[in-house]
Amino acid sequence: MCALSCFTSLFIDRRRLCGSFFNAAPAIIFHPAIGIDANTVFQVQATLRRRILRAFVGRGVL
């Protein structure tokens, strides 16, 4: 009986915590990027590709 009541109280407390968590104001606010053309996206992708490959090679993954 005690295990059941402890489980029930944990479940209720977890729901209460989750509810307060989701009702809180967001800590991170994302702003949409505007004015980005295809050339800019291509440059960023190329830079990221080089950096990721360099990190993989440096760590011996590739």
Q: Which residue has the higher pLDDT, 18 or 42?
A: 42
* Backbone phi and psi for residue 60, each to the nearest 5 degrees, phi listed first: 80, 15
First CA to last CA across the chain, in angstroms? Answer: 56
Helix, strand, coil percentages (3-state) for the chain, rounded to 5, are 70, 0, 30
Give CA 31 to chain center in angstroms: 16
Above 80 in pLDDT, residue 57? yes
The per-residue pLDDT for range 11-36, each reduced to its tens digit, is 455 555 555 555 666 678 888 888 88
Q: Which domain holds residue 44?
A: 36-62
Q: In this structure, what DSSP letter does residue 25 have? A: P
Higher pLDDT, 1 or 32: 32
Establish if 49 belongs to a structural domain.
Answer: yes
Q: Based on the structure, what is the number of domains in the chain?
A: 1
If you average pLDDT over every residue of the chain, what do you get? 75
Q: Is residue 8 part of a domain?
A: no
> Does residue 40 sit within a domain?
yes
- 51 domain residue, yes or no: yes
